[in-house]
């Protein structure tokens, strides 16, 4: 959160982090965000490795919403990891629908601008086309339910390309968007570690620009709403989802500077999901802010 002498005009790319909220969305989450110097926040509204759909605490929700609005901190929700709209198991799909509906509702209640969900995979030896048809049948109605003015966007996050991932390269967003009729409430959360692991070499000269250009070519302008800024412990194309601190992995610092000067990231916040606890997170936020100003 901004300190007293921060500029009142928000930066082109607010930089923040995923913050823990166990014990209080506002009391714990926002104080952690302040310690990071975060200008944007991302939270879970449920156990990320479970299916529970807990109600919020109205007092904490209101405090969180009010503080984020007053300090112009864009907030995001990350939906649980178990969600898979491409699953061949009906029980998993049903729980995915309930879990994502919950995250979207909670997102509105806390004033979040977007809810991030993983694009999932075609399990059970299924055809991608069959899985994408199911994505259409089960996810599109949830997008159609977003009719309030303050409903969040649904942000698709591609994966590192493990297994039968439905979306890992930039062009994979094409069929996914098509399956969802390029719904107006649909956007993208680009995870730099995932897209690098999937095979886009952000570290080579011009690699970040080329990747962002490809993304815009696939889904059009204005769809990129959030960046998960993570370096990668593994080499390009490794299909491994192992985040590293900014500048110390195989992506390196320079591509993050390029990212924050590309037209597609105008007014798009960056959120880190890196290791190292609070100290590591604060250092990564500071590093990205320094890269932004250069």
Query: Site residues (CB under 5 A) for Zn ion?
Result: 191, 228
Choose between 61 and 157: whose C-beta lies nearer to Zn ion: 157
Rounded least distance, CB 52 to Zn ion, Å? 21
Rounded least distance, CB 181 to Zn ion, Å? 25
> Could you identify the residue written with the tokens 């390196």?
252
> Could you identify the residue written with the tokens 């080329």?
210
Rounded least distance, CB 69 to Zn ion, Å? 25
Distance between CA atoms of residues 117 and 193, nearest Å: 16
Cα distances (Å, whole numbers) of residue 35 to 146, 151, 169, 284: 33, 28, 35, 12
CB atoms within 10 A of CB 40: 27
Yes or no: say if 209 and 170 are a contact pair by the CB < 8 Å rule.
Answer: no
The two beta strands, 243-244 and 231-232, are: antiparallel
Rounded least distance, CB 232 to Zn ion, Å? 12
Choose between 142 and 188: whose C-beta lies nearer to Zn ion: 188
Rounded least distance, CB 158 to Zn ion, Å? 9
Beta-strand (E) ranges in 36-180?
A: 41-43, 75-78, 114-118, 153-157
Rounded least distance, CB 162 to Zn ion, Å? 14
Rounded least distance, CB 221 to Zn ion, Å? 22
Measured at CB, which residue is nearest to Zn ion?
228
Choose between 26 and 190: whose C-beta lies nearer to Zn ion: 190
Compute the Cα dihedral for 81, 186, 245, 169 and give only its sign: positive
Closest CA to 54 of 84, 80, 16, 82: 80
Choose between 131 and 226: whose C-beta lies nearer to Zn ion: 226
Transcribe 257-293 into DSSP letters.
Answer: HHHTTSGGGTT--EEE--SSHHHHHHHHHHHHHHHHH
Choose between 65 and 118: whose C-beta lies nearer to Zn ion: 118
Choose between 228 and 287: whose C-beta lies nearer to Zn ion: 228
Yes or no: say if 8 and 282 are a contact pair by the CB < 8 Å rule.
Answer: no
Compute the Cα dihedral for 229, 32, 152, 100 and give only its sign: positive
Rounded least distance, CB 157 to Zn ion, Å? 6
Choose between 67 and 190: whose C-beta lies nearer to Zn ion: 190
Choose between 18 and 292: whose C-beta lies nearer to Zn ion: 18
């Amino acid at each position: 959160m901004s300190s007293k002498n921060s500029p009142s005009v928000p930066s082109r790319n607010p930089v923040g982090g995923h913050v823990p909220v166990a014990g209080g969305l506002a009391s714990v989450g926002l104080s952690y965000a302040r310690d990071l110097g975060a200008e944007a926040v991302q939270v879970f509204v449920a156990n990320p490795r479970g299916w529970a759909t807990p109600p919020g605490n109205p007092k904490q929700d209101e405090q969180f919403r009010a503080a984020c609005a007053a300090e112009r901190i864009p907030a995001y929700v990350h939906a649980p990891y178990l969600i898979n709209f491409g699953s061949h198991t009906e029980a998993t799909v049903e729980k995915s629908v309930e879990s994502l509906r919950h995250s979207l509702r909670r997102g509105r209640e806390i004033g979040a601008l977007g809810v991030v969900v993983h694009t999932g995979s075609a399990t059970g030896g299924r055809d991608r086309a069959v899985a994408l048809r199911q994505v259409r049948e089960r996810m599109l109605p949830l997008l159609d339910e977003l009719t309030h003015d303050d409903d969040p966007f649904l942000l698709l996050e591609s994966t590192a390309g493990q297994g039968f991932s439905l979306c890992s390269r930039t062009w994979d967003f094409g069929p996914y968007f098509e399956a969802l009729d390029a719904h107006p409430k649909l956007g993208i959360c680009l995870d730099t570690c995932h897209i690098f692991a999937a095979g886009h070499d952000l570290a080579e000269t011009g690699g970040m620009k080329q990747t962002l250009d490809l993304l815009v070519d696939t889904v059009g302008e204005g769809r990129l709403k959030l960046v998960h800024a993570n370096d990668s412990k593994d080499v390009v194309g490794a299909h491994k989802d192992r985040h590293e601190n900014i500048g110390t992995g195989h992506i390196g610092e320079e591509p993050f500077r390029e990212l924050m000067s590309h037209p597609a990231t105008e007014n798009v916040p960056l959120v880190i999901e890196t290791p190292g606890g609070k100290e590591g997170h604060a250092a990564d936020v500071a590093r990205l802010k320094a890269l932004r100003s250069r």
